[in-house]
Structure 1
Amino acid sequence: MSELTRRNALKIIGSTTLTATGLTNVASAHHPKDGSSGGTDTTSGKMRLFSEAAVDGAHEAVAQGGYAYVATVTGMAVVDWRNPRHPEEAARLEASNPAGGILDVKVDGDLASLASNAGPGITLVDISDPHNPTEIGFYDVGHGIHNNFLTGQHAYLTVNESGKTPFSKARCEIVDVSNPSNPTKVGEYRLKDHFPDYAMAGVNPCHDVYVQNGLLYQAFWDAGTIIADVSDPSNPTTVSQFGAAPNADRPYPSDSRLERYLTRPGNSHYVQPSPDGQYVYQGAETFPSDFVDNPDNDDYGGIKVFDVSDYENPRQVARISPPDVDAFRTSHNFDVTENRIHTSWYNGGVAIFDVTDPANPAQLGHYASEDTSFWTAVRERGFTIGSDIGGGLVFLHTDNGELGSPSFSGTGRPENPGLGESDGA
């Protein structure tokens, strides 16, 4: 890879800084191929803008009980949308030191956890009164946490410390948060303990996690998806591993790691099972040759569907391709329900697919506009909520609403992309 191309690649991926890994700023991008706005047509598909709420710094968003909780880089915002026609920001919490670079939030009941991508752990917040969120604890890992998951009495954290090789200490750390003012580590799943060759390849961080019915679903980048049994959180055990890129267990020299990290055929960037656990959806965040000097790489990442009814023999049964629009459109975060998947594609917008038959996904609707770039899409109360990077939330509906852009302006489409322009870092 030429130095010019490498420099351009670093510019377009400024939303994720995996510190102390040897690979920095290498996981998230949201800029069109030609550096322009990359506009797309809002009239396609059946998704309409029902309502909106401006949220400065918006990144990951989750919904619970008529409220949306939004990571804002410096903390968290709470959007009250119990009246979906008039959602509004109801509260904002600025996380105290040493938190920083908060791109991810998760909630469960009266507790929220904020992952500090540029800080050393997670901030725990009491949300029993959503209009008055109160910081009650901090768990210090000593390393940036890009993503986390919160369920029951435990938080699951992506930790990517490095030894001599980037990501060689990649792991999911499990924390008991039953007493949020005094969180304690109870266990971990370390890639090197279970798949040492993948750990030493230099391109396999633990990027994201999801927990359902005592199973931990881990996106380990080119090493694929690894399911672990965490019914005993102090002793996670491997259940299945699938979706790895070819040769992801071979060491990569330092001068080729960035290109390998960014391009096809990898990777496992985000993962979520179906509610019944029979299928797993694995999203890839990959970039075409316009972004990285690789003539064989001409496609953006999509979402693979795996049948895991037999953990000994998981099978890929489908792939959801990015929207067919002239914009930067690799897969990012998504939400799976019983028969739908709600997906975000950066400048490619938000799309819903019918997965009643997971082997044959069918697109039901699509929303995009010239000035939006989406970090996530989640389903709640009959709506799809999209988080427009830096700008706010859009509440989308397949039957009701208007065509067009939200009135707020996000920060996901800088005309001259540079490090940190999307996350305030």
Structure 2
Amino acid sequence: MTDQTRRTTRRTALKAIGLLAFTGTSGVAAASPPGNGNGNGDGNGTDDSLRLFSEVAVDGTHEIATDGNYAYVATGDGLSVVDFRNPTRPEVVGSMTASDPAGGILDAKVDGDLVSLASNGGPGITLVDVSDPSDPTEISFVDVGHHIHNNFLADGYAYLTVNESGDAAFSKARTIVVDVRDPSDAAVVGEYRLKDDFQEFAMGGVSACHDVYVQDDLLYQAFWDSGVVVADVSDPTDPQLVTQFGEAPGADVPGYDLETYLTPPGNAHYVQPSPDGDLVYVGAETFPGNFVDNPDNDDYGGIKIFDVSDTADPQELVRIDPPNADGFRTSHNFDVTANRLHASWYDGGVTVHDVTDPENPETLAGYRTDDTSFWGAKTTRSFTLAGDIGGGIAVLHNDRGKRESPGFDGSGSPDAPGMQ
């Protein structure tokens, strides 16, 4: 096992529970995938299925963030707000187009009356006032000098993924912290850099900071083949290492190799803890087959569940495999409650899993049609909101609705690998 540079300047409370641990993946169970499905998915031994309860077309749909009765949808060029108070008839009640230099907006996050839009094609984030959901109003653009693929809002701060281009790009992989308590005067106040604690990983070629999640003063960072790095952000200006887990063999090998980057193992793409923080769910996005000129490679990424109740010794419990379906069906974004996992799989559709026993998750239901490809899945009010890429939101329910496709047309799954 490669020795990593480790910080010892951690908060007193964290010192009491140890530094960090590296965990392997051998001897870990795999949960059976759901069946093919065609709008009436068979879901791992059950005939239950998700049904199309209602729908709303939203041009350019990518990530969805929810708060109360509203969904906030990243639309490529800005934001759309969907009123979900009547789930039988959700409707777009407001929208806005972000001003230059924003662009390529794939991710939206919400915290109270503030939405942040990450610019995958621009150098920062757009902050939007949604105190009146019918009139989302741009407040400011925070220029940090680098494109931002994903971000997260929590307690007056925005957390931004940053990856630079050029030689040794991933040595600069990091999360930037922006103080947005006054969104008209937002400013960068801190950062977590992979190289400060894991110099070897940072000099490897497969350690992009892809996504982040913040809960209970902990910052969960998906660093691709370097796995998940958790930092304490009780002081957002000075993030401190808590633990790391789930790295792939060879993550510390210098130099970038396309096939290594696009195929398993590794590929930590999305991360979310359970509400109590004892578990962490990590989705792997892989691009096998024709994406790497190897059609015999059909190893699509799944979702792993880690027990992190002992931060000094995180343990991988199980991997939930992707659905058995035609098309591009790797794990993408998902949502976690105390006992349910709602997951999207691009062409593989949407699945719901019972994770009451996290070592033995059970696939309860699924939704898939031949003309949908899903970016994300969120749960609210006993429904699953599934974002069909480019097309809109499918509102799914486990026993009410139709067994058919939504009426809008999406843009489909990626036709080339990238920072999806």
TM-score bracket for the superposition, by shorter chain length:
0.7 to 0.9
**Residue number in structure 2 paired with 1:84:** 87
Aligned pair in 2 of structure 1 residues 413, 294: CA closer, same or farther (>3 Å)?
Answer: closer
CA separation of 1:259/1:230 partners in 2, compared to 1, >3 Å: closer, same or farther?
A: same
Q: 2: distance between equivalents of 1:373 and 1:294?
A: 23
CA contact (8 A) 1:371 1:413 kept: no
1:261 corresponds in structure 2 to 261
Q: Who is 2:216 aligned against?
A: 213
Residue 189 of structure 2, aligned match among 173, 186, 190 = 186
* Aligned-pair CA distance for 1:250: 1.4
2:38 corresponding residue in structure 1 = 41
Distance 1:99 1:40 in 2: 39
Matched, 1:233 2:217: no
Among 165, 169, 177, the alignment partner of 1:166 is 169
Question: Residues 91 and 360 of structure 1: is their aligned pair in 2 closer, same or farther, counting only changes over 3 Å?
Answer: same
Distance in 2, Cα, partners of 1:383 & 1:419: 31
Aligned: 1:106 with 2:97: no
Task: Measure how far apart 1:396 and its partner are.
Answer: 0.3
| Contact 2:377–2:385 (Cα < 8 Å) also in 1 | yes
Q: 1:201 offset after TM fit, Å?
A: 0.7
Unaligned runs of 5+ in 2: 1-35, 43-48
- Offset, 1:290: 3.5
Distance across 2 between alignment mates of 1:130 and 1:295? 46
Cα–Cα, structure 1 residues 239 and 413, in superposed 2: closer, same or farther, change >3 Å? closer
Q: Within 5 A, what are the aligned runs for 1:11-160?
A: 41-45=38-42, 46-160=49-163
Instruction: Give the superposition deviation at 1:413.
Output: 4.8
Question: Scaled by the length of structure 2, what TM-score is found?
Answer: 0.87
How far does the alpha carbon of each residue in 1:286-332 deviate from its partner, in whole angstroms, 9 at most, with x for none?
12334324588431000011000111110000110001112211000
Note if contact 1:162-1:169 (Cα within 8 Å) is conserved in structure 2. no
Q: 1:163 to 1:169 in 2, by over 3 A?
A: farther
Query: What's the counterpart of residue 301 of structure 1?
Result: 301
Look up the match of 1:288. Answer: 288
Confirm or deny that 1:275 pairs with 2:275.
Answer: yes
Which residue type is aligned with residue 218 of structure 1?
Q
Distance in 1 (alpha carbons) for counterparts of 2:113 and 2:85: 17
Is the CA contact (8 Å cut-off) linking 2:62 and 2:390 kept in structure 1? yes
TM alignment of 1:319-330, pairs within 5 A? 319-330=319-330
Equivalent-residue separation in structure 2 for 1:291 and 1:250 (angstroms) = 22
Query: Secondary structure of the equivalent of 2:394?
Result: strand
- 2:277 is aligned with what amino acid? G
Separation in structure 2 between the aligned mates of residue 131 and residue 295 of structure 1, nearest angstrom: 47
Distance 1:167 1:278 in 2: 29
**What SS is found at the alignment partner of 1:161?**
coil
* CA–CA distance in structure 1, aligned partners of residues 67 and 129 of structure 2: 14
Partner of 1:369: 369
Which stretches of structure 1, 4 residues or more, deviate above 2 A after TM superposition?
287-291, 293-298, 417-420
CA–CA separation in structure 1 for the residues paired with 2:348 and 2:230? 30
Query: How many residues in Structure 1 have an aligned counterpart in Structure 2?
Result: 379
In structure 1, the residue matched to 2:378 is 378
Q: Which amino acid aligns with 1:86?
A: R
The Cα shift of 1:170 comes to 0.6
Asked if structure 2 preserves the Cα contact closer than 8 Å seen for 1:166 and 1:203, the reply is no
Aligned counterpart, 2:342: 342
Asked whether the equivalents of residues 156 and 174 of structure 1 are also in contact (C-alpha less than 8 Å), the reply is yes
Q: Which residue of 2 aligns with 1:393?
A: 393
Q: Using the alignment, how far apart are the partners of 1:60 and 1:298 within structure 2?
A: 26
Work out whether 1:175 is the aligned partner of 2:178: yes
Tell me how far apart the structure 1 counterparts of residues 351 and 219 of structure 2 sit (CA, whole Å): 26
1:203 aligns with 2:200: no
Amino acid of the structure 1 residue aligned with 2:327:
A
1:357 equivalent to 2:357? Answer yes
Q: Could you say if the C-alpha distance between residues 370 and 294 of structure 1 is closer, same or farther in structure 2, counting changes exceeding 3 Å? A: closer
Q: Deviations over 1:99-154 (max 9, x none)?
A: 00000000010000000000000000000000001100111111100000001110
The 3-state SS of whatever aligns with 1:181 is helix
Classify the secondary structure of the residue corresponding to 1:360.
coil
Q: Considering only aligned residues, what root-mean-square deviation do their CA atoms show, in Å? A: 1.7
Report what 1:34 is aligned to.
none
Contact 2:291 2:417 in 1 (8 A): no
2:18 paired residue number: none
For residues 294 and 312 of structure 1, the distance between their equivalents in structure 2, rounded to whole angstroms, comes to 39
Residues 266 and 418 of structure 1: is their aligned pair in 2 closer, same or farther, counting only changes over 3 Å? closer
Displacement, 1:419?
Answer: 8.7
